[in-house]
Amino acid sequence: QLELEESGGGSVQAGGSLKLSCSASGFSAYSRACLAWFRQAPGKKREGAALIGANGQTVYADSVKGRFTISRDNAKNTLYLQMNSLKPEDSATYYCAAASSYRDWPPSIADVRYWGQGTQVTVSS
């Protein structure tokens, strides 16, 4: 049974930092998967924030570029999102997602094969 489990969310003040982690279990093809962090604020669509391919290539949404860093440790089956200089508009539930590939940017939720349960990030001004 494949599972993705996020951790590291919480509440911070604007300008602060958080590091999210997403651990995968039961995922033998993890190193070949394309991984992404999506986020969803109340009343808004779920959107891709950052993506990392199996080859380590990364893509970021303009809204997080220069502030967020996505990385992966295939030996630990873990995906990370380092978030710096956080803004109130970054407040959302953050989800890790795994796919065989993402056809385009921004990534489509239709391409996602596995989702984590989500972790809440709240940034206060």
pLDDT per position as a tens digit, 14-68: 999 999 999 999 888 899 999 999 999 999 999 999 999 999 999 999 999 999 9
Q: Quick: pLDDT tens for 67-104.
A: 999 999 999 999 999 999 999 999 999 999 999 888 88
Quote the pLDDT of residue 19. 98
Q: Which residue has the tokens 């860093």?
A: 69
* Amino acid (1-letter code) at residue 115: W
Above pLDDT 70, what percent of the chain?
100
**C-alpha triplet 111, 117, 120: angle, nearest 5°:** 110
Quote the pLDDT of residue 120. 98
- By the 8 A CB rule, do 9 and 121 touch? yes
